[in-house]
Amino acid sequence: MEFACVATKPVVLWFRRDLRLNDNPALYHAVATGRPILPVFIQDRDPDRPAGAASLWWLDKSLRALDASLQDRGSRLILRRGDSLIQLQSLIQETGADAVFMNRLFEPAAFARDADIAHELKSAGVDCRGFNGSLLARPGAVLNGSDAPYKVFTPFMKALLAAAEPPPPTPAPRRIDTPDAVQTESIDDWGLHPTRPDWSQGFDWTPGEAGADAALSDFLARGLKTYAKGRDHPALPTTSRLSPHLHRGEISPWRAAQRARDAADAGAVPAAEAAKFVSELGWRDFSAHLLHHFPTMTDRAFRPEYEAMPWRDDPEGLEAWKRGRTGYPLVDAGMRQLWTTGWMHNRVRMVVASFLVKHLLIDWREGEAWFWDTLVDADLASNVQNWQWVAGSGADAAPYFRIFNPIAQGEKFDAEGGYVRRWVPELRRLPDRWLQSPWTAPPEVLRDAGVRLGKDYPHPILDHAQARARALDALKAVTGRD
């Protein structure tokens, strides 16, 4: 009540997946009103799908970093838990605020919930405004000639680049005025960081806006100049590792794109490398737009005929895959990198996903769920879109009959074995020639390398050629061909 009588009513700034102060349209417009700001984060159940454990680990640190940045500017982050609408209404009642500004979420259920919240607030006379702070273009802004969503990436990206202008950069405000006497919860009570056991010891990340900026600067200086080819080699530090920062909105995708283009304009990197990077950011938008327009793709095959795929029930195979114990070194290296660090290189994500869906013939939804819980960058649209891409059932998918050979992939993209040796250390002394298929090594080579197959490292859980034939056979259920 204390605030209801102040002359300038505060604006509630509802932070969600836009945990940054630079290039934040909702913050920019809130500050432009000249009124006090109430920055709030509400820990509510995600209406599309509750966040996984690794993602919550990240959220914990990201919120702390945002609070510190706000405090540097004379403000602070107000934390609340529970139903978003109820929490916003009570904050409005407590403070006399009459406006709520937010950056939009575009996942189907969150989008619908936000529309309901906006309706309720507006009916109560609250000025409720939404902005796009997370995507290059908002869903609905990139449609084909028949006003329908694109289902193929290349024309989508062409249309996006033609339609969407980079917004002018907006630096973080120097000062943000926030009324003092507003109650907040303590993040320490939220239990977002794992305990008993704390499985996050190997998570080597700096969540938050400064961490995102540092990751981007490092990438521009080191990775971007050879990005197009280097991005396929998991042992090289050639990709940006921006995905978890982008997911939590610690950096705007336009800023990442623009800084890459600026590096090309300054002659520091070839223009084609910067364009490739922007195109990868485009896949993120493509995924988000698809999910927005086709909400059932989270749990149904985008191409309905793929629902006929005869998936196998194989708990042991699934467990070996999750634990990195399949006997295929590149697959195991990827799954162990994921478990240890909360992230996996894109090339290896494709290989491990293909191994699950094709070699093991296990439903892509099982793999998608494991990624969801273990990835720090777990993103509903990108995860589902990419899993369906690998499974052949997606909108613009890899054909199902193209089956990654995990041995050949290792020999091509990890030729010197740096990636496998790092994540599967029990094979580190095996010469390159046998590293991707240890079971083909002569006994004396294994002995000299200190590898006892079946003891130190598993025998392969399946035979590649047989599994490939089985996968192609299974495809007949979809195509109807004999």
Residues involved in catalysis: 280, 283, 311, 346, 364, 387
What 121-126 contacts at long range (C-beta under 8 Å, 24+ apart), as own/partner pairs, is 121/85, 121/88, 121/89, 121/92, 124/89, 124/92, 125/98, 126/92, 126/97, 126/98, 126/99, 126/100
Residue among 182 and 362 whose Cβ is closer to ligand FAD: 362
Q: How far is the CB of 247 from ligand FAD (least distance, A)?
A: 6
Q: What is the dihedral of CA 194, 196, 202, 205, to 10 degrees?
A: 20
Answer yes or no whether residue 67 interacts with ligand FAD by CB under 6 A. no
The yes or no reply on residue 43 touching ligand FAD (CB under 6 A) is no
CB of 411 to ligand FAD, least distance (A): 20
Binders of ligand FAD: how many residues, by CB under 6 A? Answer: 27
379 binds ligand FAD (CB under 6 A): yes
DSSP-assigned states of every residue in 464-481: HHHHHHHHHHHHHHHH--
Least distance from C-beta 49 to ligand FAD, angstroms?
11
**Candidate residues 22, 84, 200, 239; the one interacting with ligand FAD per rule CB under 6 A:** 239
Measured between alpha carbons, how far is 105 from 44 in angstroms, rounded to an integer?
14
Show the tokens assigned to 443.
């006994």
Q: Which of 41, 101, 371, 404 binds ligand FAD (CB under 6 A)?
A: 371
Phi-psi region of 120 (alpha: psi -120 to 50; beta: other; left: phi over 0): alpha
Instruction: Tell me which of 121, 281, 331, 360 binds ligand FAD, using CB under 6 A.
Output: 281
Give me 90's structure tokens.
């009570």
Helix (H/G/I), strand (E/B), else coil: 443: helix
Rg value, the chain, Cα: 24
26 binds ligand FAD (CB under 6 A): no
The Cα 156–Cα 365 span in angstroms is 26
Least separation in angstroms between residue 473's CB and ligand FAD is 23
- Whose Cβ is closer to ligand FAD: residue 23's or residue 280's? 280
DSSP-assigned beta bridge partners for residue 101: 13, 129
Phi, psi of 11 (to 5 degrees): -110, 130
E strands, 73-202, are: 78-81, 99-103, 127-131
What is the rounded CA–CA span in Å between residue 298 and residue 294? 9
Of 164, 162, 110, 102, the closest CA to residue 132 belongs to 102
Nearest approach, Cβ of residue 51 and ligand FAD (Å) = 11
283, 306, 339, 413: residue in contact with ligand FAD (rule CB under 6 A): 283
CA distance 370 to 57: 16
- When binding is defined by CB under 6 A, the residue of 212, 269, 350, 360 that contacts ligand FAD is 350
- Asked whether the beta carbons of 74 and 175 are under 8 A apart, the reply is yes
30 vs 142, beta carbon nearer ligand FAD: 142
Q: Does 378 bind ligand FAD (CB under 6 A)?
A: yes
Three-class secondary structure of residue 96 per DSSP: coil
- Give me the 382-421 binding string for ligand FAD, x by CB under 6 A, dash otherwise: xx--xx--x-------------------------------
Distance CA 218, CA 140 (A): 34
374 scored as a contact of ligand FAD (CB under 6 A): no
Which of these segments, 100-108, 143-151, 164-172, 375-383, binds ligand FAD (CB under 6 A)? 375-383
CA gap 450, 455 in Å, rounded: 11
Q: How far is the CB of 5 from ligand FAD (least distance, A)?
A: 46
242 binds ligand FAD (CB under 6 A): yes
Closest listed residue to residue 117, CA positions, set 140, 132, 100: 100
Shortest Cβ distance from residue 360 to ligand FAD (Å)?
14
* Closer residue to ligand FAD (CB): 15 or 389: 389
Q: Do 47 and 113 contact (CB within 8 A), yes or no?
A: yes
Q: Is 377 in the site for ligand FAD (CB under 6 A)?
A: yes
Question: Cβ 287 to ligand FAD, closest distance in Å?
Answer: 5
Verify binding: residue 292, ligand FAD, rule CB under 6 A.
no
Region of 381 on the Ramachandran plot (φ > 0 left; ψ -120 to 50 alpha; else beta): alpha
- Between residues 129 and 300, which has the closer beta carbon with respect to ligand FAD? 300
DSSP character string of 58-82? HHHHHHHHHHHHHHHTT---EEEES
Q: Which is nearer to ligand FAD, 16 or 349 (CB)?
A: 349
102 vs 220, beta carbon nearer ligand FAD: 220
The answer to the question of residue 353 lying near ligand FAD (CB under 6 A) is yes
Q: Which stretch binds ligand FAD (CB under 6 A): 82-90, 160-168, 370-378, 394-402?
A: 370-378
Of 214-233, which residues contact ligand FAD (CB under 6 A)? 231
Q: Which of 280, 332, 363, 396 binds ligand FAD (CB under 6 A)?
A: 280
- Rounded to the nearest whole angstrom, what is the least distance from the CB of residue 92 to ligand FAD in the complex? 34
Residues that bind ligand FAD (CB under 6 A): 231, 239-243, 246-247, 280-281, 283-284, 287, 346, 349-350, 353, 371, 375, 377-379, 382-383, 386-387, 390
